[in-house]
Amino acid sequence: MAESNFVDYVKICCRSGKGGAGCMHFHRDKHTAKGGPDGGDGGIGGSIIVRGNAQAWTLLHLKYRKHVIAEPGANGESALRKGKDGKNEILEVPLGTVAKDAETGEILFEITQDGQQEVLLAGGRGGLGNHHFKSATNQAPRHAQTGQEGKEEWKILELKILADVGLVGFPNAGKSTLLSVVSAAKPEIADYPFTTLVPNLGIVSYEDYRSFVMADIPGIIEGAHEGKGLGTRFLRHIERNATLLFMVPATSEDIKKEYQILLKELKLYNKELSNKNRLLAITKCDLVDEEFLKDIKKKLPKVPVVFISSATGLGISTLKHKLWDMIQDN
């Protein structure tokens, strides 16, 4: 994913279409001088609809589209002819997109399946023609309804990446390197903070042609839940991951403390994240000797642990097995 092309948050002004007016008309032809009411109904105003698209991965196409306006419904006509419904405006979005009301912050719906459609803002109802108001006491009603006005509201579309495994760690923990080793993803890799500025997805091949999706989330720092570093901009993506793989380098001064800081940041952002399956990977094990690793094992937190090296392949197969088992447990 190119940094400039990845957009996971948009705020747009939506205006649904006004319903068409009902027709007030009486049947007239050369054989009928005073026919009954035959005014048709107005068409329904166009709605703003959100549709899931498994081929999409960004909200970039909506970033500069600040106003989305649906067509109004056409007015009803004589001979009971209904007005044409206004054309709906359909917004294609990636799976994992959440729609919110911009004013209240209320979650309206979530798009999780390809082809799933949800109404973001409904169009106005069409007005009834005067034939609806005919009665025994009113044979010639001179009344038809006006169409219902459309609505204009600000909405937020927010993308939370769908993945089986989310990589959690401080900058330079080796997340991008691991993703490049276990999948065909090609994230930018360099030895400086925040190399990863957008989430990267990779499909990890497993046994018997099975696979799972891994997401490299940009590095977290202490205080991220308050917006420090890349802050909450990417923490929300972790909410969608079934299993969390915490990554701490073997060269860290205090592995247990670093893990606890990462876990604390996730809990402060969303306490429900603490209920997800967790696995701790001690990375860059090729940079330390066996004696050092033995010493590390005495100071680890109480969580399932695997020792790996993306450079040499150490523990990568074991890591895949453990992650697959954890995913199946969900």
User: Do 173 and 154 reside in the same domain of the chain?
Assistant: no
75 closest CA partner among 151, 144, 143: 144
Instruction: State which residues form the domain around 212.
Output: 163-329
Last residue of a domain, one of 138, 159, 180: 159
**Number of neighbouring beta carbons within 10 Å of residue 303:** 12
Given a contact cutoff of 8 angstroms between Cβ atoms, the answer to whether 73 and 21 are in contact is no
Looking at the structure, do residues 95 and 198 belong to the same domain, yes or no?
A: no
Asked whether 45 and 88 are in contact (CB, 8 A), the reply is no
The verdict on 24 and 71 lying in the same domain is yes
The model's confidence at residue 324, banded by pLDDT at 50, 70 and 90, is: very high
Q: Which of 79, 69, 64 is nearest to 23 (CA)?
A: 79
- Predicted local distance difference test score (pLDDT) of residue 200: 76
| Shared domain check, 131 and 234 | no
Q: Tell me which of 126, 159, 192 is where a domain ends.
A: 159
Find out whether 319 and 246 touch, Cβ atoms under 8 Å.
no
pLDDT average, residue stretch 286-292: 91
Mark whether 275 and 174 lie in a shared domain. yes
- Tell me how far CA of residue 154 lies from CA of 60, 61, 99, 151, 256, in angstroms: 18, 17, 11, 10, 45
How many separate domains does the chain show? Answer: 2
Examine the pLDDT at 191 and tell me if it is beyond 90.
no
pLDDT digits (tens, 9 = 90+) for 134-188: 999 999 999 999 999 999 999 999 988 778 898 988 887 888 889 888 887 664 4
- Strands of the 67-69 sheet, one edge to the other: 67-69, 9-15, 152-159, 97-101, 107-111
- Same domain? For 229 and 116 the reply is no
